[in-house]
Structure 1
Amino acid sequence: MKASKIIKSLLSLCLLVCILSGCKTSDVESDTSNLPVITLGSDNYPPYNYLNEDGNPTGIDVDLATEAFKRLGYRVKVVQIDWEKNKELLESGKIDCIMACFSMEGRLDDYKWAGPYIASQQVIAVNSDSDIYTLNDLEGKNVAVQSTTKPEGILLNGNYNLGNLISLNHRELIFTFLQKGYVDAIGAHEESIIQYMKDYDADFRILEEPLMRVGIGVAFSKNDKRGICEKLDKTLKEMRKDGTSKKIIGKYLSHPEKYLEVDDFAY
């Protein structure tokens, strides 16, 4: 058999194996195993970052980061971090960036930012039978938040005259505290509350009046001179324009277009 015929036979065999095994050419094209790694720090925060049934990181931020950094020639390694130590980990170089539904508001001088790439609302949620309907109704009430998050700062520095503000290390605990009646309300990103209600069939009610509308960004160290932050910012803008971001967000949230209304933020 001539060499050309052998090659043709081998190509045909490979094609048959691919057809039988269900592989696609895109699987080969999407291989990122040889790319340099970007270590992304986050915590468990559905629908932005959480572990799927196979124990792999997934969510809005994971998918956006994977696509954006792939376009820049990197592959992403998502690591769960102690959220209260996020800046320390970033400054030490143990992680390259923070992408965890991270609000830019009030933190512009603390980090170098790519974004905002998503618009979000910090809101108050209560049990469905609560008599709390407005932010003014929080007076004298006990409210739980995740420590070091934006709702903590808003409620600490605002004129809400709370009974107690309870700051918890783990986000999941604030929902438990509300369901058990240990607190009257919780403060968090609207999307995380919606996701929790969907996952656990919880009967919460989100107040119509938000605490704050914020832009979500990717945080790098102020001392990072690699230029990755600036390139990522440009790539995330391109992904909004070409429809990639809307498609990704739509996998997790209804009406994804409203989360892309970021041009009004003067950051």
Structure 2
Amino acid sequence: MKKWLSVTVIGLLTAGALAACGAGEGASNGGGGSEDAKVLKMGTSADYPPFEYIDTAKGDSEPVGFDIDLAKAIGKELGYEVQVVDMEFGSLIPSLQSKKVDFVLAGMTPTEERKKNIDFSDVYYEAKNVLVSKKDEPINSIEELNGKTVGVQTASIQEDEAKTLSEEVDIKIESRDRIPQLIQEMKSNRIDVAIIEDTVAKGYVAKDDTLQLVETGREDSNKGSAIAFPKDSKLTDEFNKELQEMKESGELEELIVKWFDSKE
């Protein structure tokens, strides 16, 4: 009798432990979200205003911006709470692949190389790359990059463009994890110029009158931003449907006006 009771108790404890383990798993379940918690983890790199950044001037500790608002608007329509996870840009795709986050919204361009490893939504915003330099040591054209040190964000589309440019002009490429690091390196004379997306660059130049920006004049500098997902995630179609509805209703345009037009 005692042996039977002992086996029964052990069985019950084991079942309870297994149930507890299942309930304690994270919100991310391989790109589909948690059906119980209804939470999605969004990966981003909060150094990219106005897409995503931490407004320290207002005392904020959580990321804000266009991508944050967009993610939460889509999540609300789909019935999910969105939790934002801030990390370095170069860590975003690996985090998707290892299922640490359910999707990434970080002004990311859907290149063919990236599509080999992850899936993308439709493009939700168009932009282009520009050259940012100091006004007292201006870089005004691609030709003037010859012999210069060019700063780019690690694992970004701008890093790819710099590598392409290096086939045309003699440049040294320096990569940094965060955009503010590029600006500081420029002001400290460790790099001569940075390649940055125009919308983001305008924000930095507007706040610092020692900086200037010029367009590269290259057609392939025109880029689009899309939402990234793990391969074969069901969220891709769900987010695309909501994006299309936001475009048709004008809600997406309202977010663009809120975060971009006021920054011009």
RMSD: 2.1
Identity of aligned residues (%): 24
The CA deviation at 1:109 is 2.5
Compute the displacement of 1:157 (Å): 2.8
Deviations for 1:156-212, whole angstroms, at most 9, x for unmatched residues?
133232331111122211111222322221011111111122344553222352561
Greater shift, 195-204 or 64-73, is seen at 195-204
Q: What residue number does 1:152 align with? A: 159
Q: Which one of the candidate residues 230, 247, 261 is aligned to 1:254? A: 261
Distance 2:50 2:138 in 1: 28
For residue 259 of structure 2, give the secondary structure of its aligned residue in structure 1: coil
Q: 1-side partners of 2:215 and 2:186: how far apart?
A: 14
Q: How big is the shift at 1:128? A: 2.1
Q: What SS does structure 2 have at the residue aligned with 1:47?
A: coil
- What is the DSSP-based 3-state SS (H/G/I as helix, E as strand, rest coil) of the residue aligned with 1:122? strand
For the residue of structure 1 that corresponds to 2:173, the secondary structure is: strand
Equivalent of 1:178, from 183, 186, 191? Answer: 186
Are the equivalent residues in 1 in contact too, given 2:121–2:237 (CA < 8 A)? yes
Query: Whole-Å Cα distance in 2 between the matches of residues 160 and 171 of structure 1?
Result: 25
Structure 1 unaligned regions, length at least 5: 1-33, 257-267
What is the aligned counterpart of 1:36 among 29, 35, 38?
A: 38
Give the TM-score of the pair, scaled to structure 1. 0.76
Q: Deviations over 1:121-166 (max 9, x none)?
A: 1221122233522112211111111111111111113323233111
- Higher deviation after alignment, 65-74 or 127-136: 127-136
* 1:44-83 correspondence runs (5 A): 44=46, 45-52=48-55, 53=58, 54-83=60-89
CA contact (8 A) 1:119 1:216 kept: yes
Q: 2:231 aligns with which of 212, 218, 222?
A: 222
Partner Cα separation in structure 2 for residue 157 and residue 110 of structure 1? 22
Tell me which of 120, 123, 136 is aligned to 1:116. Answer: 123
TM-score (norm: length of structure 2): 0.77
Matched-pair contact (CA < 8 Å) for 1:103–1:216: yes
Letter in 1 for 2:83: K
What's the CA shift string for 1:95-124, capped at 9, x where partnerless?
001100111133233311112011011221
Aligned structure 1 segments of 4 or more residues deviating by more than 4 angstroms: none
Asked if 1:98 corresponds to 2:100, the answer is no
